[in-house]
Amino acid sequence: MYQITENVFLDDLSIPDETIIYYSKTKGLLQITLILAFLGYAVYTLILRSSNTIAVAIILVGLYYMYGSFKHILNRTPQIILSNKGVQTVSTSFYGWKDILVEEVRCEIEGRSTIKYFTYAYPGGLEKLKIHDYDISGDSLENLLRIYRGRSEKNRKVS
């Protein structure tokens, strides 16, 4: 015979009441370092061969990506705020857990890459944020979502 049991929520008390997620400075600095190496190679190639269109293209593309990396490093705006009460992102206002449906970290294949997104439905819309440049892994974000959702439901049952 099978016995059906209710899901049991196990809280992690080391998780604070609120977690703020930003762009990762470490990932941004690593990207800039790699871009500088490619730019150095492109400039070296350009100096040796006075008109190398590939080197010029690498320099232009490198400068474009370097700009994006600097922008992320300097951006100190919270991208995601998770708490016992709900969720807020850089592009949506605060929504309580009772208003949020199907929050998850999902992987999507784009070309040859797998991109992780934080998605959730809220009244009137669906949020979808790429999390690869944030200072949190997909697994850690999923864990936080379980903890904060569980705390919210536990508090609702007590009230």
Model-level pTM? 0.84
Q: What is the pLDDT of residue 29?
A: 93
Separation in Å, CA 47 to CA 50, 120, 142: 6, 51, 49
CA distance 122 to 136: 22
Q: What is the pLDDT of residue 6?
A: 63
Q: What is the pLDDT of residue 87?
A: 97
What residues are paired with 110 via a beta bridge? 113
Average pLDDT, 10 consecutive residues per value, the chain (159 residues): 66 94 94 91 80 81 92 94 97 96 94 94 95 94 95 79
Q: Where are the domains of the chain?
A: 25-74, 78-158
Yes or no: say if 52 and 41 are a contact pair by the CB < 8 Å rule. no
Planar angle of CA 34, 36, 38, nearest 5 degrees? 75
